[in-house]
Amino acid sequence: MTTIPGIDPHIPPSGPGCVECTAGGGWWVHLRRCAQCGHIGCCDSSPAKHAGAHAASTGHPIVRSYEPGEDWFWDYTAHRYARDVVELAPPQHHPIDQPVPGPAGAVPDDWRDLIV
Ligand SMILES: [Zn+2]
Ligand SMILES: [Zn+2]
């Protein structure tokens, strides 16, 4: 099997929501999955941008969308998208019944005014 730098297809995602937001009571717009360690973080439109912060602090360069129906990868180092790179360990997205933005109960009513 080919080894791609920054991607370990055997690592499952860390959970259904952003690791840091879940721990700290935050909320997110969309979720991204680190392709190297499985860390789930919130996207760059979310208030805390934990996926980008994770990439910057760990050097893990590639995330995959963790949204249902999305299969793209983003390379923070190359600043470009990739598709169909490799099949990662399941699940491929957060639970279908989990709201966007999420998680349930933590999203303020004026969330649209709070994102980029
Ligand atoms: Zn977050
Ligand atoms: Zn990572």
Q: Please name the residue that has the structure tokens 């721990």.
A: 23
Question: Could you tell me the pTM of the whole model?
Answer: 0.94
Counting ligands in written order, the one closest to the CA of 20 is 1
State the Cα–Cα distance between residues 35 and 8, nearest whole angstrom.
6
Query: Tokens for 50?
Result: 């934990």
Ligand 1 centroid – CA 43 distance (Å): 8
Ligand 2 centroid – CA 36 distance (Å): 5
* Cα of 51 vs its chain's centroid, Å: 6
Residues in CB range of 106: below 8 A, 6 or more apart: 21, 25, 26, 27
Domains of the chain: 1-92 (3.30.40.10)
Surrounding residues of ion ligand 1, Cβ less than 5 A: 18, 20-21, 42, 48, 50
Ligand 1 centroid – CA 53 distance (Å): 9
Calculate the average pLDDT of the chain. Answer: 94
Q: What is the pLDDT of residues 42-68, one digit of tens each?
A: 999 999 999 999 999 999 999 999 999
Counting ligands in written order, the one closest to the CA of 18 is 1
